[in-house]
Structure 1
Amino acid sequence: MTQPEPGTVVVTDAGNGHYTQRVSTTAHEFLADEPVSAGGDDAGPTPYDLLLSSLGTCTAMTLRMYADRKGIPLIRTEVRLRHDRVHARDCEHCETEAGLLSRITREIAFEGDLDDEQRAKLLEIADKCPVHRTLSREIVIETRTA
């Protein structure tokens, strides 16, 4: 198989395991899978692990870029994420009023000699990472045969 062009991810059955998938990008390749409890072989992160890691890495990278550009003494960022589902009626800031909604909880810890104003600004910037913006907007997924 040839490597995908930049900006394209190719997912194929890995040929081993029930749900194991090979994920290929232009320069990287890794496995994704389901845990044993869901019938997989736990050969890699789950699809939701990958979704959360996309948001987490984008958040941390965006914060690093901003801190470097503004001279903020940020040493390290830890982003902890969790996905669950909640009843729409329990969500005070949601447009949807019925059924279940996906909810991602993101906790960010900063290491460095930061004042309260810097911490507040970094939290504000976290919501501006490109993946956060993508997940927060309407998404259209077009599916067709190759």
Structure 2
Amino acid sequence: MDHPEPGTVIVTASGDGTYTQQITTTTHTMLVDEPVTAGGADAGPNPYELLLASLGSCTAITLRMYADRKGIPLTRATVRLRHDRIHAQDCERCETERGMLSRITREIHLDGNLDDDQRAKLMAIADKCPVHRTLSSEIVIETREAGR
């Protein structure tokens, strides 16, 4: 398969399993799948793991860039994420009041000789990573059949 132009991702069945898909970017390929318990072959992370990985990696990269630019002695940022669904009525800061909604819990561990002010600045900048901003804003997904 040819690699797409920058900014485009192609996902297609790999032929290796019921749900196994191959993801192709400009310079990389990888597999995504469902776990065996869901009928997959567990040939790669599942779609929600990829979503969490996108947010976590963007958060860590944003923290690294900010620390480097500001001279903050951040040795490493480790980001742990979890996705679940909760009842809207149990959410204090949500606009939705009924039904279920998705919740992503993100824990950030900062390593380095950091003072309280540096830690606070890093935690504030975590919410400014581009993927966080995308997931927190209104998203329009346009779907159409190719070639039509």
TM-score by length of 1: 0.99
Deviation by residue 1:86-138 (Cα, 9 ceiling, x = unmatched): 00000010000000000000000011000011001100000000000000001
Equivalences for 1:18-97 in 2 at 5 Å?
18-97=18-97
Structure 1 residue 2: Cα displacement: 1.2
Alpha-carbon distance in structure 1 between the residues aligned to 2:138 and 2:94: 13
Consecutive unaligned residues of structure 2, counting only runs of 5 or more, are none
* Unpaired stretches in structure 1, ≥5 consecutive residues: none
State the distance in 2 between where 1:26 and 1:4 align. 5
Q: Which residue of 2 aligns with 1:112?
A: 112
- Alignment of 1:139 onto 2:139: yes
Match of 2:129 in 1: 129
Question: Residue 16 of structure 2 corresponds to which residue in structure 1?
Answer: 16
Q: 1: distance between equivalents of 2:33 and 2:11?
A: 11
CA-CA distance at 1:16 after TM superposition: 1.0
Hey, what's the Cα distance between the residues in 1 that align with 2:114 and 2:48?
A: 32
CA distance in 1, matches of 2:92, 2:75: 35
Distance 2:143 2:58 in 1: 25
What displacement does 1:43 show? 0.1
TM-score (ref. length: structure 2): 0.98
Identity %: 74
Which 4+ residue blocks in structure 1 deviate beyond 3 angstroms? Answer: none
Matched to 2:49, the amino acid is D
